[in-house]
Amino acid sequence: MSTAPINPPKVRTREEIAARVKALEAIMIEKGIMTMEAVDRLAEIYENEVGPQLGASVVAKAWTDPEFKARLLRNATEACAELGIGGLQGEDMVVVENTDDVHNVITCTLCSCYPWPVLGLPPNWYKGPQYRSRIVREPRTVLREDFGLDLPDSTEIRVWDSSSEMRYWVLPQRPAGTEDLDEKALAALVTRDSMIGTGQPKAP
C-alpha cells in the first residue's frame, strides 16, 4: 500500500510572516482579546524563555557533564528543573539517547503532544497526520525522503510515541571535533530537529 509523501508547508518570506503577525495582533487588540503589553510579553516568552534554545542548553550540559547526563536520562523533568526549565507541557518528560547503533525519533500519533519547555512550539509538519502515521510505519523512508536524513541500514531506528502523560525528546550525539568547545558553543550546534530525531546537530 503506497502512501503520499509529507508535503512541507509553503515557505513564506519573513515579510509575509511579519505582515500576518501584525494583522493578527491588530485584530486581537481591537477586539479586546489581548493588550499590546500581553502580546509583547508572549513574544518575549517564546523568544527568550521557552523554545529550542533551552533544549539546546540542556543537551550541551549533558554533553559536557556525565553526571548531569545520567540524571537527565534517569529523570528528564527533574534534571531540566535543575536548570530552571519546566512547566506546562513538560511535567513528565523522558529523554532518549542516540548512539552509534540507535537513532531515536519522536511523534505523537494521537494529536501533537510535544515537550514545549525544551523545544518551543511544535512545527506544522509534526502536527500533520502524514508525519504522525508514516513515521511509525516507515521511519527510515520518512527520515530519508522528507528530512534528508539518510541513516545506515545497520542503525536501529526507534520511534517514541508521546502522549499527554509522557513527552519524549532526543539527546543527539555530540558531533566529532567539538572537544574544545564550551557549553555555549556546543548549544549553538543543537537544532530543534536533532532533538525531535528528524535531523542531526550542526557540524562545528
- Give the residue numbers spanning the domain of 18: 10-49
Provide the β-strand partners of residue 43. Answer: none
- Tell me how crowded residue 159 is: count the other CB atoms within 10 A of its CB: 16
Task: Give the whole-angstrom CA distance, residue 121 versus residue 135.
Answer: 20
- Does some domain include residue 146? yes
pLDDT digit of tens for each residue in the chain (204 aa)? 444 444 544 545 656 766 776 787 788 788 888 787 876 766 666 555 567 999 999 999 999 999 999 999 999 999 999 999 988 888 999 999 999 999 999 999 998 899 999 998 888 899 999 999 999 999 999 999 999 999 999 999 999 999 988 999 999 999 999 999 999 999 999 999 999 999 999 999
- In a shared domain, residues 71 and 114: yes
- In a shared domain, residues 62 and 125: yes
| Structure letter (DSSP) for residue 128 | S
Q: Is 162 annotated as a binding residue?
A: no
Q: Write down the pTM of the prediction.
A: 0.78
- Does some domain include residue 203? no
- In a shared domain, residues 68 and 33: no
Give counts: helices (H), strands (E), the chain: 11, 4
Catalytic residues: 108, 111-113
Task: Give the whole-angstrom CA distance, residue 47 versus residue 54.
Answer: 10
Q: Is 112 annotated as a binding residue?
A: yes
Number of domains comprising the chain: 2
- In a shared domain, residues 82 and 128: yes
Burial class (CB in 10 A: 0-12, 13-18, 19+), 182: exposed
Q: Is 80 annotated as a binding residue?
A: no
If you count them, how many residues does the chain have? Answer: 204
- Does some domain include residue 113? yes
Tell me, what's the pLDDT at 2?
Answer: 43
Question: Which domain CATH number covers 74?
Answer: 3.90.330.10
- Does some domain include residue 109? yes
- Does some domain include residue 2? no
- In a shared domain, residues 71 and 172: yes
- Does some domain include residue 204? no
Cβ–Cβ under 8 Å, residues 60 and 190: yes
- In a shared domain, residues 165 and 185: yes
- Does some domain include residue 125? yes
- In a shared domain, residues 31 and 58: no
Q: Is 113 annotated as a binding residue?
A: yes
Residue closest to 158 by CA, chosen among 130, 118, 122, 197? 197
Residues 6+ apart with CB under 8 A from 128: 6
